[in-house]
Amino acid sequence: MLNLILFGPPGSGKGTQAEKLIDKYNLKHISTGNLLRSEVSAQTQLGIEAKKFMDAGELVPDEVVIGMISNALDEHSNSVKGFIFDGFPRTVAQAEALDKLLTEKSLSISKVLSLHVSEDELVDRLLKRAKDSGRADDNEETIRNRMKVYREKTSVVADYYADQVKLADIVGEGSIEDISASICKQIDA
């Protein structure tokens, strides 16, 4: 099985690039952001709780997102060629939990594709996305907090996978097609 993680700061294009990869490699896309936004739209108890964190640019508690990932793995692991994890893991505790869940199914992460984009470009992209999609976490104050949370809690996840020799760095600025080509080159290597 080919199990990939798309890693990077908010707005680095994880969701955009995941869409390009799912058909090419026939993988199941698991985006914790999308799963959480579905819960928010359906106004489930989980969604009502998660919305408070998301609107403030904070991370939703680890146990909530790990539970969602565990359910998704149970549902799909016998029927797909692999997974693309997008927006997960975002903390070292989530990375450790993912390794444990995969090991229980005799699976493992194949590669972590880490998208690098400057903070000015990230803020520009997210403000633009705010105009198009009206996402509540795309106002400037929340975006700045999301960047701070990324620096403090998420960026260290890259070291976790570098230690496992699974990290591939990708230049995340330029055309969507060129970035996708760099990612595919890393996957096929």
Interacting residues toward ligand B4P by CB under 6 A: 8, 10-16, 32-33, 36, 53-54, 57, 59-60, 65, 87-88, 90, 94, 125, 129, 137, 146, 176, 179
Torsion sign (Cα): 16, 26, 180, 162: positive
Is 100 one of the annotated active-site residues of the chain? Answer: no
- Residue 15 in tokens: 């969701």
Single out the catalytic residue among 28, 37, 51, 90: 90
Is 166 one of the annotated active-site residues of the chain? Answer: no
Single out the catalytic residue among 20, 111, 129, 153: 129
Distance, in Å, from the CA atom of 118 to the CA atom of 151, rounded to the nearest integer, reads: 13
Distance, in Å, from the CA atom of 117 to the CA atom of 174, rounded to the nearest integer, reads: 10
CB 36 → ligand B4P: shortest distance, Å?
A: 5
Q: Which is nearer to ligand B4P, 106 or 120 (CB)?
A: 120
Is 37 one of the annotated active-site residues of the chain? Answer: no
Q: Which is nearer to ligand B4P, 3 or 33 (CB)?
A: 33
Is 125 one of the annotated active-site residues of the chain? Answer: no
* Token pair 């490699």: residue: 25
* Token pair 């403030």: residue: 56
Single out the catalytic residue among 20, 135, 153, 166: 135
The torsion of the CA quartet 137, 141, 146, 148, rounded to 10 degrees, works out to: 180
Is 14 one of the annotated active-site residues of the chain? Answer: yes
Q: Which residues are catalytically annotated? A: 14, 90, 129, 135, 146
